[in-house]
Amino acid sequence: MKGLVFKDKGLIDWSEVPTPKIINDEDIIVKIEEFTFSHADYRPYLGMDDTVAKNTIMGHEGVGIVSAIGKKVTTLKVGDRVVISCITHCNQCKFCQQGLYANCLNAGFILGTKINGTHAEYVRVPYGESSVYKLPSEISTEQGLMLSDVLLTAYENVILKVDFNKINNVALIGDGPIALAILLFLNSYRKKVTVFGHHRAKLEVFKDNGAEQIINSKDNEFGDEQYDLVVECVGNDRDTFSLAQQLVGFNGTIISIGVFKKPVIFNLNELWYKNITIKTGILNNGATLEVINEILAKKLDPNVLVSQVYNKNEVMEAFNQFENKDYFKIVVKL
């Protein structure tokens, strides 16, 4: 089979690799139909993550067909169409018992980092029964693919963490796929949403999908409005957490989702005086079935998150689109 292999900083290759086999009785093998990329996939390539071993197959998002199951797998069968959670979990350890699947003592965020991932024609998923979800026939493959990570990041880190009865206005810092996914969920709550970003084509998509106000973050003119909820979705080496503290109003909440390359500065005196709550945390993918039901009820359409679809002969071209800041999610169809 072929897989997208991390060779070294700045070097990847779509090349022939061994097809995975069942190793443990809880394993399943999934024949990948579609996969997508997130910023975490680019971090080793860009030299921002030195924990990923060379010759690891990349990727943690995918949809496919179960092609083999281990002896202890009883709730899945060969032929099931499933979405692969970006979080693999054993469902037995103390953290899994608390629903903190990302902190699983036996797995966690391992696909494409500690073990071979989803950017391949086949992938081995440990603890398959708890780490994939069957997809209803009404949900398309591309819609299901958004359940691997981006939709759950938005839903678990924002929608499940906030009492929207106490929220009148929301600021989204960033114009990437996570911010757009948050907006899709927020539309059900009919709150005023302001998006801060600077990629014109993307900002038009936000405007078309319910954002009431768009502010170009490069203008450095953010107005005087204070927000009940501010969600930081950028991270990296940007000073967006300082902007979040500037925008949040009295008794407001800051949710930090972006992954930063350097420490951020807390203005604790001001945060204390304004009585600000700060929330953060990695997704656990425990709410996947809830989001599936949201899609089935047509409360949101994940298709808007997909900017471009490539085929298996265009994998390298697809990967290199991470430099195209006008795109949200890039999909590869095998």
pLDDT in tens, 309-327: 999 999 999 999 988 889 9
Rounded to 5°, angle at Cα 230 from 229 and 236: 155
Whether the pLDDT of residue 222 is over 90: the answer is no
Instruction: Give the tens place of pLDDT for each residue, 11-35.
Output: 999 999 999 999 999 999 999 999 9
Q: What is the largest CA-CA distance in the chain?
A: 61
Which one is predicted more confidently, 128 or 236? 128
Cβ contact 221:243 at 8 Å? no
Cβ contact 329:177 at 8 Å? yes
Instruction: Give the tens place of pLDDT for each residue, 253-283.
Output: 999 999 888 889 999 999 999 999 999 999 9
What pLDDT score does 183 carry? 98
Does residue 19 sit in the same domain as residue 110? yes
Does residue 251 sit in the same domain as residue 219? yes
Q: pTM of the full predicted structure? A: 0.96
The count of domains in the chain is: 2
Whether the pLDDT of residue 198 is over 90: the answer is yes
Residue 15 lies in a domain: yes
Residue 72 lies in a domain: yes
Residue 154 lies in a domain: no
Residue 220 lies in a domain: yes
Cβ contact 63:81 at 8 Å? yes
Instruction: Give the tens place of pLDDT for each residue, 28-56.
Output: 999 999 999 998 899 999 998 889 999 99
Domain hosting residue 260, numbered range: 161-280
- Which of 121, 50, 101, 27 is closest to 311 using CA atoms? 121
Does residue 144 sit in the same domain as residue 7? yes
The residues that bridge with 111 in the sheet, in sequence order, are 115
Whether the pLDDT of residue 236 is over 80: the answer is no
Mean pLDDT along residues 127-138: 98
Does residue 255 sit in the same domain as residue 206? yes
Mean pLDDT along residues 129-137: 98
Does residue 196 sit in the same domain as residue 323? no
CATH number at residue 310: 3.90.180.10
Does residue 222 sit in the same domain as residue 133? no
CATH number at residue 241: 3.40.50.720
Does residue 187 sit in the same domain as residue 256? yes
Residue 156 lies in a domain: no
Residue 206 lies in a domain: yes
